[in-house]
Structure 1
Amino acid sequence: MVIKGSCHCKATMFEVTEVPETVTFCTCTFCSKRGALWAYYVPAKFKLTSPPENVSIYARDSSVVKHGFCASCGCGTFTETPDWSTGEADFDNPKVSVNARLFDDFDLDRIEVVVLDGKNLW
């Protein structure tokens, strides 16, 4: 099942190939201010369907995690990151975390929300 998503102004659009089992609410300083619910995918299951120049990137203090947002309306769209499931950055297993709040025509209320205590982890 393909799920389409877009920012507020539709300048940044994307697709993912499956429904997430869970979404993550991270309490770190960045994510809590952004208000995203993150759905994680391997890069092959994510496709940016709008021109890449419509996406701006924010990377705090390093280029390890690249936070994408729409260059026009500012909506936080997706993040390119190594896998952090072991507590360490696994660069051999990159992930794309998609802001599931931007899924079009999708009932996000039926997906379990997992809270990640990022405020105290890093």
Structure 2
Amino acid sequence: MKGTCPCGGVTVTVLRKPEFLNSCNCTLCFRLGGLWGYYAPSEVTVEGETKAFIRDDIEQFLQTNFCPTCSATVSWTSLKPYDRMGLNMRLFDPDELVGLPIRFPDGRADEGEGERPPARHEEVLFALDAPF
């Protein structure tokens, strides 16, 4: 599977679909607009220049990587030894994601900001006509 940012400056290649998609509502993920698929870093090939953003208001444990031209979020990678990374699956053709389960973890509750409505915690399948 190949995904690209809107300007085409960054291309991401993986050999398989992720097991599921993750739509986290923590303050970082929500603002980045990522729909995460998880891979071992060795499973992902990124071509093109990316820039990194590391939050300085919390413990620094990950960086987000984005295209410097169009600002599309490409991935997150750990700053500590970790066997997975998050890849923004919104860079890929939606047809390739149809049928994958989408999970809605409550990242804001982990941050102490309260819960989402319970219905959002139920897993759904990715569909081209999904209302989200």
Q: Which residue of 1 aligns with 2:78?
A: 81
Matches of 1:96 and 1:104, distance apart in 2: 20
Q: Which residue of 2 aligns with 1:4?
A: 2
* Matched position secondary structure for 2:23: strand
Structure 2's unaligned 5+ residue stretches are: 112-132
Partner letter of residue 61 of structure 2?
V
Choose between structure 1 and 2 for higher RCO, CA contacts under 8 A separated by at least 6 residues. 1
Structure 1's unaligned 5+ residue stretches are: 83-90
Q: Which residue of 2 aligns with 1:30?
A: 28
> How far is the alpha carbon of 1:78 from its aligned partner?
0.7
Calculate percent identity across the aligned residue pairs.
28
Q: Which moved more, 1:4-13 or 1:102-111?
A: 102-111
Name the Cα RMSD after superposition: 1.7
Matches of 2:65 and 2:27, distance apart in 1: 16
User: TM-score, structure 1 length as denominator?
Assistant: 0.81
- CA displacement, residues 66-100 of structure 1 (integer Å, 9 cap, x when unaligned): 10010000000111027xxxxxxxx4433221001
Matches of 1:93 and 1:67, distance apart in 2: 15
1:39 equivalent to 2:34? Answer no
* Matched position secondary structure for 1:17: coil
Matches of 1:107 and 1:18, distance apart in 2: 10
1:57 equivalent to 2:52? Answer yes
Large movers: runs of 4+ above 6 Å: none
* Matched position secondary structure for 2:2: strand
Q: Which has the higher strand share?
A: 1
Contact 1:6/1:104, CA 8 A, preserved across alignment = no
1:70 equivalent to 2:67? Answer yes
* Matched position secondary structure for 1:116: coil
